[in-house]
Amino acid sequence: MANDVSLPPDVLTLIDEKVANGQYSSREAVISDALLLLREYDQLAASRLKMLQADIMAGQNSGPGIPAAEVFAALEKRFS
C-alpha cells in the first residue's frame, strides 16, 4: 500500500503553516492528529444520534400526543 496521498493546495498550505509555526514537527503529525480528531468527532456524532433516538423513543412511549390546535389554544388563553 502506497503512503502517497493527494491533497488540495489549500489543505497542504494549512498543514505546512502548522509545521512552520512549530505546532507540529511534520506533515505526518498534523495529519495524524487530524484523523484522530475525526475519529473522536465520528464517535461523538454516533453517541448524539443514539441519544436522539432514545429521546424519540421515550417521547413515543410517553403516551398519546396532544393535538397542536389544543396546545395553541391553551397558550393563547394563558398569554392573552
4 inside domain: no
51 inside domain: yes
As for how many domains the chain has, the answer is: 1
Q: What does the alpha-carbon distance between residue 49 and residue 43 come to, in Å, rounded to a whole number?
A: 10
Q: What does the alpha-carbon distance between residue 15 and residue 29 come to, in Å, rounded to a whole number?
A: 9
Low-confidence stretches of the chain (pLDDT < 50) are none
The alpha carbons of the chain give a radius of gyration, in whole angstroms, of 25
Q: What does the alpha-carbon distance between residue 19 and residue 70 come to, in Å, rounded to a whole number?
A: 61
Please tell me the predicted confidence (pLDDT) of residue 65.
Answer: 86
Read off the amino acid at residue 26.
S
Is the pTM above the cut of 0.85?
Answer: no
Q: What does the alpha-carbon distance between residue 4 and residue 50 come to, in Å, rounded to a whole number?
A: 36
Tell me the pLDDT tens digit for each residue of 14-35. Answer: 999 999 999 999 999 999 999 9
Please tell me the predicted confidence (pLDDT) of residue 4.
Answer: 87
Residue ranges making up the domain that contains 61: 9-79
70 inside domain: yes
